[in-house]
Structure 1
Amino acid sequence: MANTQFVKRIQDIMRNDPGINGDAQRIEQLSWILFLKVYDDREIVWELDDDDYTSIIPDGMHWRDWAQDNKDGQSLTGDELLDFVNNQLLPALKKITVTPDTPISKAIVKDAFIDTNNYMKNGILLRQVINVVNDVDFTDPEDCHLFNDIYEGILKELQSAGNSGEFYTPRALTDFIAKTLQPKLGERIADLACGTGGFLVSALNLLNDQVKTVDDRQKYNHAVFGIEKKGQPYILAVTNLLLHNVDNPDIIHGNSLEKRVTDYTEKDKFDVIMMNPPFGGSELPVIKQNFPNDLQSSETADLFLALIMYRLKENGRVGVILPDGFLFGNDGAKLNIKKRMLNDFNLHTIIRLPGSIFSPYTSINTNILFFDKTTPTEKTWFYRLDMPKGYKHFSKTRPMKLEHFKPVEDWWNDRHEIKDGDNYKAKAYTVQELEDNKYNFDLCGFPTETEEVLPPEELMAKYKEERSQLNAQIDKTLAAIKQLLEEAN
């Protein structure tokens, strides 16, 4: 089944359902359906490998028990299917009993369904969606490989699904950071705000090429760790790892910032941390109290950067995406974080990224900070990655690609200053120079841009993209209002 064909069939069916309001709800609905199908196919493999395997899913609730359509007129559909899903299936999965001894591979089922809802109100259309998903056999390597591409396409759509865009980092970024940090089998790799699991999958793709033995496969299975606060991206991340043959997806449904950072011990630390922490948001005052006074910030990204410092092993390495605001910010917490990075870590490289990478979700300019826990910083290299030739901006139809990082890769192992008129495109600054600059890391930045006059075709494409984003936000607001009205009645 072609990627576009699968997604289009799902879209066409769900658009006719009165309960689905916009892309955000469509993706959330599809998330739990895909999870159950993927999990059931993985259980088939686990049952073949282990005669004593017992499922945590209650009898009658497995995908194979109710979702199969044998075309004999006996399959659940219509109101009967809706009644089963709403009043039996979802309540049963939410009530699954989990103990500290429950394996991760089983505990994830309860976690995945705690916040899950069925938005579809037409049981016939729901049956049609289930049948489309049933066409994919996740025990077949060829089907599974194809669906990885389909799934990536579904995740990309999060970028235009209102606020859900914050959960997806473009694959070019995750692949570049993973490739640069070079994770190895035997290392523990983490993303402490993992969203849909993009960084973890980029790491797994590199580790998979290193698997040669049964012992290597075990290392692969326990290589990555993630935490995700929101329910929808959590279930997407778990499904993503199951699709990449991780039998025990070590992903926690929770908030990384809820624990006092000084309580972390060596076993809580990681060799590699890759992440794109939420930025622009804020946490409750009680969360900030989990950090030393000098690191308490109202900006979520600052808190995550401080958290990384406490969860990185000796000789560990980091690639983290941060907004421009961190670079030039000089409030108390930002200043203290920068000082600690320079004194206690080796902040060796900052890559200034071109704008519109996260379009249409946000237009905030971003950067990649690479540092490790080896020696104090001696100098920090700044490199400005310009927009690729022929591009005025990135968009949904023309996203950033891994090949666009080639200028950085060529420069990385042959570092040298690059002058650009009166400014620098690449330059190293000593710690003393950074201190003298009052810890303003806004260096080797982009020239001030004048307002761009686009050709009519590009102007129309940009307008459609912005309208799509606005429509998604309107759909989300209407859905929230509708839910409030339904609860009131």
Structure 2
Amino acid sequence: MKKQDFTSRARLSAVIKSARDIMRKDAGLNGDLDRLPLLSWLLFLRAFDALEQEREITGEEPIIKPDYQWRAWADDETFTGEALLNFVNNSLVPYLRGLSSDESGDARNVLGQVFSGVQNRMLSGYLFRDLVNQIRKINFSSSDDIHTMAFLYESLLKEMRDAAGDSGEFYTPRPVIRFMVEQTFLKLGESILDPACGTGGFLVEAYAELSPQATGRIVQQRLIHDLRGIEKKPLPYLLCIMNLILHGIPSPNILNDNALRVMIEDASPDTQVHVIVTNPPFGGEEEASIAKGFPAGYQTPETAWLFLHAVIRKLKPGGRCAIVLPNSALFGEGIGAKIRKKLLTECDLHTIVRLPQGVFTPYTPIPANLLFFNKTGPTEQIWFYEVTPPEGRKGYAKTKPIRYEEFAECADWWGGKEREGRVSTARSWQVSIDDVVSSGYNLDINNPNALQNIDHRSPDELLGELIATEQEMLNLLTSLQRELGATDVSS
């Protein structure tokens, strides 16, 4: 690390720490679930003001009216107390919330969507002034500050994810994101969508992968336009916009809406995309009006199955997808089996990477899988690869998460874009489509090469796997009960 980088990181870390200390003093904020959103939209306005100043240099008209621009009120240190709080709550936020435009891609629409869910919970105008003064120390015209702030923001998001774990939010570890993006073999000129983008991890990684190849302003602008996301909840949407801006995407192409509704209502060829990389919510129940929008025979409240169905429709012919799914989505009868049949009939499900238990700790103990498929016609055979914890480890935990290096063997085995030279190993095996069909489209297929080692495994390890399996069965039965209940109501 360069000395200059270290100095910048230390300085900005001190700024953020001071900002968080100030927010802790305010009686209106309770925990990081209140503090980080406030910090995010203030950072957003600070960063957006830097973009506005760049526009002014080129003679472009500002997006935000002069009286509401960051520099007009934030740089006036005498503007504080009740007067500042009254301006922010009753003038600034309502003005930004009301911005909109009929033109697609207009920044006013982004601002209006970002601030539609914003509420200032700080009660002290004097503490608010102190907070604003800290954020003023960040120079968003400096590339060093922007890159360092992006790094710090990632660490704040991780804390936010941990704080949100109990509220049903599932976030994807960065090593999993990086591996999925790399094995999707992205290319410039392709439209890339994450329909459950959360705080934007997949889109940030895709941009990091492709940006070095995008030489020239026009190619960069096309790349930014091609990176698309949908996020239903206002808080992750705000965090996503800020995350993408800090990583060099000035006008994020993110829609604040229910992705299932968007993908089902508008599945025309013009709106289909080349690539989808996503970790959709699972274990939840979608509202009945959304499920009813799906074709007859595929209507279920289970979000994971609905997303899989919608993703298949959203892909262009020849498109490709990498998606996270829980074990419970890989087996069972009913609608789940129909959706798996649709997947295997319309797409080439060429690889399933089985993740060990604990990868998504602390959000859920349920094991998950990474499915990679191309919309190029029916599946003929499926390769499975089992990622296992390092020697001496039984799984992963919050304090000992999965590392990117643990995907290295799988990446070497992958065989590049054409998946050439794959062989069966202690961790990989191949299954024919005939075997899958005869089993009722069951994709929960254990490693046959590991069965011989079962006698050498500890009772604790076997008991842990049994508990996980029982949990999956309980989730499956609960989902089936919901389906039967929905059928009884509709009949």
In which range does the TM-score fall when normalised by the shorter chain?
Answer: 0.7 to 0.9
Cα distance in 1 for partners of 2:326, 2:152 equals: 30
Letter in 2 for 1:361: Y
Letter in 2 for 1:166: E
Match of 1:232 in 2: 235
Q: Does 1:61 align with 2:68?
A: yes
1:99-248 equivalent positions in 2, closer than 5 A: 99-101=101-103, 103-163=105-165, 166=169, 168-248=171-251
Match of 2:55 in 1: 46
Q: Does 1:9 align with 2:18?
A: yes
Match of 2:414 in 1: 412
Match of 1:32 in 2: 41
Match of 1:20 in 2: 29
Write out per-residue CA displacement over residues 352-379 of structure 1, whole angstroms, 9 at most, x where no aligned residue: 1122222222222111000011131110
Tell me, yes or no, if the aligned pair for 1:155 and 1:168 is still in contact at 8 Å: no
Cα distance in 1 for partners of 2:228, 2:263 equals: 19
SS of match in other structure, 1:282: coil
SS of match in other structure, 2:169: helix
Change (3 A) 1:107 1:404: same
Match of 1:319 in 2: 322
SS of match in other structure, 1:186: coil
Write out per-residue CA displacement over residues 124-161 of structure 1, whole angstroms, 9 at most, x where no aligned residue: 22222222222211121111111110111111112211
Change (3 A) 1:4 1:51: closer
Q: Does 1:401 align with 2:408?
A: no
The offset of 1:262, in angstroms, is 6.6
Match of 1:481 in 2: none
Tell me, yes or no, if the aligned pair for 2:348 and 2:374 is still in contact at 8 Å: yes
Letter in 1 for 2:59: D
Tell me, yes or no, if the aligned pair for 2:333 and 2:440 is still in contact at 8 Å: no
Letter in 2 for 1:375: G
The offset of 1:389, in angstroms, is 3.5
Higher relative contact order (Cα pairs below 8 Å, separated by 6+ residues)? 1
Write out per-residue CA displacement over residues 378-422 of structure 1, whole angstroms, 9 at most, x where no aligned residue: 101111100134544434443322222112112211422224xxx
Cα distance in 1 for partners of 2:224, 2:263 equals: 28
Cα distance in 1 for partners of 2:147, 2:193 equals: 24
SS of match in other structure, 2:183: helix
Letter in 2 for 1:373: K
Tell me, yes or no, if the aligned pair for 2:284 and 2:302 is still in contact at 8 Å: yes
Cα distance in 1 for partners of 2:32, 2:365 equals: 20
Aligned length: 440
Write out per-residue CA displacement over residues 169-191 of structure 1, whole angstroms, 9 at most, x where no aligned residue: 22111111111112111110000
The offset of 1:323, in angstroms, is 0.8
Cα distance in 1 for partners of 2:241, 2:262 equals: 22
Cα distance in 2 for partners of 1:322, 1:211 equals: 32
Cα distance in 2 for partners of 1:391, 1:126 equals: 47
Match of 1:279 in 2: 282
Cα distance in 2 for partners of 1:277, 1:291 equals: 17
Letter in 2 for 1:117: Q
Letter in 2 for 1:29: L
The offset of 1:251, in angstroms, is 0.7
Change (3 A) 1:66 1:393: farther
Tell me, yes or no, if the aligned pair for 2:396 and 2:402 is still in contact at 8 Å: yes
The offset of 1:78, in angstroms, is 2.5
Letter in 2 for 1:91: P
The offset of 1:6, in angstroms, is 4.3
Match of 2:434 among 429, 432, 435: 432
Gapped regions of structure 2 (runs ≥ 5): 1-8, 416-420, 462-491
Tell me, yes or no, if the aligned pair for 1:271 and 1:316 is still in contact at 8 Å: yes
Cα distance in 2 for partners of 1:241, 1:259 equals: 22
Letter in 1 for 2:185: Q
1:270-309 equivalent positions in 2, closer than 5 A: 270-309=273-312
Cα distance in 2 for partners of 1:133, 1:211 equals: 31
Cα distance in 2 for partners of 1:440, 1:65 equals: 61
Write out per-residue CA displacement over residues 231-274 of structure 1, whole angstroms, 9 at most, x where no aligned residue: 11111111222223323311111111124727411111111100
Give the TM-score of the pair, scaled to structure 2: 0.84
Tell me, yes or no, if the aligned pair for 1:167 and 1:233 is still in contact at 8 Å: no
Write out per-residue CA displacement over residues 186-221 of structure 1, whole angstroms, 9 at most, x where no aligned residue: 110000111111101110001111112233222222
Cα distance in 1 for partners of 2:225, 2:339 equals: 31
Letter in 1 for 2:371: L
Change (3 A) 1:85 1:402: same
Q: For structure 1, which segment, 129-138 or 110-119, has the greater mean C-alpha deviation from structure 2 after superposition? A: 129-138
User: CA RMSD, aligned part only?
Assistant: 2.2
Q: Percent identity?
A: 39
Write out per-residue CA displacement over residues 64-110 of structure 1, whole angstroms, 9 at most, x where no aligned residue: 111126xxxx43222222222112211221222x2322643221001
Cα distance in 2 for partners of 1:260, 1:403 equals: 35
SS of match in other structure, 1:222: helix
Tell me, yes or no, if the aligned pair for 2:96 and 2:115 is still in contact at 8 Å: yes
Gapped regions of structure 1 (runs ≥ 5): 420-424, 453-489
Tell me, yes or no, if the aligned pair for 1:381 and 1:428 is still in contact at 8 Å: yes
